[in-house]
Amino acid sequence: MDNYLDEILHSESLDPYYNLAYEDYLLRDSKNFSKKILLIWQSRPSIVMGRFQNPWLEIDLEQAKDDGVLICRRQSGGGTVYHDKGNLNFCFVGKLKKEENFAWFIEKMNELNVTISVNERNDLIYNGKKISGSAFKNTKDNSFHHFTFLVQSDLGKLTKYLHHSQLDITSKSIKSIRSKVINLESYTIEDLKNHFKATRQPSKNLELESYEKFKGEKWIYGETPKYSFKTASGEIKLIGKGRSPFE
């Protein structure tokens, strides 16, 4: 599978909003409709929700904000994940099958004598535990498949932030399925970046049309599906789309 991809790009930015916008740019630029591209990126500490998730259900927002952790919403489905510089994000862009993406990635990891498998939920498994979760986005012209990959991430902080404020929330939003996770640890981030070597450098200071969208509160919080929750007195409160339960 040496010729599986046309390009491998490494983003130089640690801004998760920029990198989410970069994925969107690669997905929607017509020049890429006939290409197979892999974008690899890292970010500063941040929490990234799936497209149809509720931040008040998934995240300890108060603790995350106190610690300066960024809150993000991506345009693909799936669950909420924690990112930091010890986590690599792989985004396959193009008319690709997830099975082929996984096969290529697993083969590349085999070259490092690391055995990875895939379960029925499209999680990558290492030593019996989850090391990566996948999500997908399709348009009429293109698609992407992206996944996290835990290498040297702070798993204590992952556990610290990825739980909600214990409100009794009822929602049609997609709830995350919590699994025990593990870091790779046998290799560093730099080892993997060198192994998945870039074929060219991405354009620097690229102005991305969707950047302001991804960092804006209208997208991050305003896209939360409507929900309800039970107060301590037993009252059921109905909350409109994008509204906080504390308003």
Summarised one tens digit per residue, pLDDT across range 29-67 is: 999 999 999 999 999 999 999 998 888 888 988 899 999
Kindly state the DSSP code that residue 174 receives in the 8-state scheme.
P
pLDDT per residue as tens digits for the range 156-209: 998 899 875 555 555 554 455 556 899 999 999 999 999 999 998 777 677 899
How much is the pTM? 0.89
Mean of per-residue pLDDT scores for the chain: 88
Q: Which of these, 184, 169, 92, lies nearest to 134 by C-alpha position?
A: 92
Summarised one tens digit per residue, pLDDT across range 87-102 is 999 999 999 999 999 9
pLDDT at 237 over 70: no
CB 128 within 8 A of CB 17: no
Lookup: tokens for 166: 């214990």
What is the rounded CA–CA span in Å between residue 206 and residue 111?
34
Structure confidence at residue 233 (pLDDT): 58
Cβ atoms of residues 141 and 153 within 8 Å: no
Q: For the domain 7-167+174-224, what is the CATH code?
A: 3.30.930.10
Cα separation, 233 vs 55, in Å, equals 23
Q: Find the mean pLDDT for residues 77-92.
A: 95
Handedness of CA 100, 106, 112, 113 (dihedral sign): negative
- Report whether pLDDT(70) > 90: yes
Structure tokens at 47: 């929490």
Statement: residue 234 has pLDDT above 80 = no
